[in-house]
C-alpha cells in the first residue's frame, strides 16, 4: 500500500505514523526532514504538508540548488504531483 492509498483510508495520515525510519540524501534529505519534523502546534502531526513542501521547493529551490539542474529536476519531481 502506498501513501496515497493510506491517505484515502485516513485523510489525517502522516508518514511518521507508518514508518519508524525515513531518510534521503540531498533533496530527499530535505523532504525527509520536512515530513519527519513534528509540528510545534501538534507534535503528532508533521510540521509541513506535501503542498507546503512543493511551495518551499518552488520558492527556495533555485537558491539552494544549481538553477539549471534544479529546473530540470523540479519539473520531473513535481510534474506528476501537481495536485499538491
Q: Mind listing the pLDDT tens digit for each residue in 5-60? A: 766 777 676 766 677 788 888 888 888 888 888 889 988 888 998 888 888 988 88
3-class secondary structure, 39: coil
3-class secondary structure, 46: strand
Whether 30 and 22 have beta carbons less than 8 Å apart is answered as no
Q: How far, in Å, CA of 8 to CA of 19, rounded?
A: 17
Query: What digits encode the pLDDT tens for the residues 48-79?
Result: 988 888 889 888 887 877 666 656 666 666 66
Q: How far, in Å, CA of 69 to CA of 26, rounded?
A: 13
Whether 23 and 36 have beta carbons less than 8 Å apart is answered as no
Amino acid at each position: 500500500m502506498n501513501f496515497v492509498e493510506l491517505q484515502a483510508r485516513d485523510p489525517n495520515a502522516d508518514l511518521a505514523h507508518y514508518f519508524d525510519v525515513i531518510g534521503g540524501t540531498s533533496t530527499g534529505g530535505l523532504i525527509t526532514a520536512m515530513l519527519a519534523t513534528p509540528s510545534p502546534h501538534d507534535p503528532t502531526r508533521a510540521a509541513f504538508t506535501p503542498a507546503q513542501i512543493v511551495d518551499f521547493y518552488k520558492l527556495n529551490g533555485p537558491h539552494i540548488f544549481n538553477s539549471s539542474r534544479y529546473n530540470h529536476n523540479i519539473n520531473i519531481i513535481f510534474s506528476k504531483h501537481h495536485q499538491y
